[in-house]
Amino acid sequence: KEINSLLKTFGKSSKTKKIPKVESTKFEISPKWAVEGKGRAWLDYQNDVTVKDVRQSVQENFKSVEHMKRYTTQGMAIDQGKNSNVAALAILADATGRGIPETGTTTFRPPFVPVSIASMGKNAQGSGFAPQRFTTSHAASVDRGSPMIEAGLWYRPSYFPQVGETNWRQSCDREVEMVRTNVGVCDVSTLGKIDIQGPDAHKLLDFVYTNMFSTLKVGKVRYGLMLREDGHVMDDGTTACLAPDHYLMTTTTAAAGQVMRHLDFVHQCLHPEWDLSFISVTEQWAQFSIAGPRSQELVNAVLDQPISSENFPYMSCGLVDVLGVPSRLFRISFSGEHAYELAVPSRYGDSLFRLLASRAEEMGGGPYGMEALNVLRLEKGFITHAEIHGRVTAFDIGMQRMISEKKDCIGKTSAARPGLLDSNREQMVAIKPLGAVKQLVAGAHLFETNDEPIRENDQGYVTSVGFSPTFGYFIGLAFLKNGRGRLGDQIKMVDHLRGIETECEVINTVSFDPKGDRLRD
């Protein structure tokens, strides 16, 4: 009435409509946990668990909710049962003749509420996006003021500055000269180490390496080249024969995981009949390179029993004791100098590095870092994954003769394709600067001296460069079309990004000690 009266004041009117009466009868909805049918009824779509699986679990006497979960894997996918737990528990209760409260629930696991994808990826950025790996000498290197650089997931010392040095080049040049004239110590623990044992271990090595390893004698080390199935270089490294049917393979730092997966594939899929086993021991051993003309003197200073070049020649290995600690010694070199690599169990790594560095300094040497290591290997023409980046063959890097004709190996057939043996392919060479501009840049491209530096005239590219204090100029490794047939030629290096153009001479990859006399001394 009040509303009608109010409407009349505005000249309006209303009509009364009949409103239906609603019944007030109470009712309940009975849950239908499963629809019976001839086919299977799925509960957990992520793990393909069905109603039949839950009932079969009860028949097999896995009646507990926790037992049913493990019998069927219901609720064990990435949603942790958020989409299927209620229905599954109800079906279990029905199958066991119990109520749902009596049946119980499984342990609740996060996420309890929906989580955004953005929050999951919050920490997958910056320095925390992947694990950080530290060597046993990390703290000692930081104590010496060494800036650390990333090598894959590892952190390695770049250089070891001394008082009076104002930039990294001064430290690097000093460390290179120190190794060439005295002795230096470098942590090489980051290189992959795979322990291989068994009667058929030599078969695995012969199959994954291009060269023969079944002839490797106990106490000896051999350099090996590894190819992918498409004939391109996968990795390189040394393998030592520690005892009959016992080998230690080393890989590059960058490819340690890839090589381990490769060996797993070969053993599990290609030759499961071979009787052997292998395991990564990279983190179980701390390994240090001791390089330079006085390296043997420093090694003998920490060994319980001294060695000599006669009883421990180049490419030898053996078990030794370092101040009572069982260790391994390898006479191998990545610097071109008389050198050793001394390995001890990881728990002794920090102490041994501090001892070696201290003794080396007393002799006029000391520790050296990655910058010096790179220059030393460039002077010697040794490769890293800057060169074997996945697009080069053994022919390209001048190692085609390492592919044995006496045995088969992965990638051998593919590597023999005519297109991969074309003399006009980009082949590895070294270059040095000529003329007024002396700078070389990794990533720059190579052109004929008189050609316009455009894509159509591209002759190759530079992979690694470094200033050599030994020779007094920059040295670079590069890939040049028909490079080995152009030694002595002049070419032009062009870095379009930085606007640098340098006249260069094509030289042999081995600049320092071409005959290898210092290695074998």
Render 317-335 in DSSP notation, one character per residue: EEEEEETTEEEEEE---SS
How much is the CA Rg of the chain, to the nearest whole Å? 34
Query: Is 27-116 assigned to CATH 3.40.50.1820?
Result: no
Q: What is the pLDDT of residues 115-165, one digit of tens each?
A: 888 887 777 777 777 889 999 999 999 999 999 999 989 999 999 999 999
In tens, the pLDDT along 495-520 reads: 999 999 999 999 999 999 999 999 99
* Confidence check: pLDDT of 26 > 80: no
Backbone angles phi, psi at 370, to 5 degrees: -65, -35
Quick one: pLDDT at residue 410? Answer: 98
* Domain-wise residue ranges, the chain: 27-116, 139-189+285-379, 192-281, 422-521
Q: What's the predicted TM-score (pTM) here?
A: 0.79
359 falls in which pLDDT band (50, 70, 90)?
very high
Residue 404 neighbours by CB under 8 Å, 6+ apart: 210, 211, 212
Mean pLDDT of the chain: 94
Report the pLDDT value the prediction gives residue 215, as an integer from 0 to 100.
97
Looking at residue 82, its pLDDT comes to 85
Closest alpha carbon to 59 in 46, 75, 47, 71: 71
CATH class, range 192-281: alpha beta
Band of residue 1 on the pLDDT scale cut at 50, 70, 90 = low
> 348: how many CB neighbours lie within 10 A of its CB?
17
Of the candidate ranges 18-22, 69-73, 459-463, the one whose mean pLDDT is the lowest: 18-22
pLDDT band at 236 (very low <50, low <70, confident <90, very high): very high
CATH class of segment(s) 422-521: mainly beta
pLDDT score at 148: 97
Q: Is the pLDDT of residue 431 over 90?
A: yes
**Mean pLDDT computed over 310-328:** 97
**Answer CATH for 139-189+285-379 from 3.40.640.10, 3.30.450.20, 1.10.3720.10, 3.30.1360.120:** 3.30.1360.120
| Least confident residue range of 14-28, 238-252, 327-341 | 14-28
Give percent above pLDDT 90 in the chain.
83
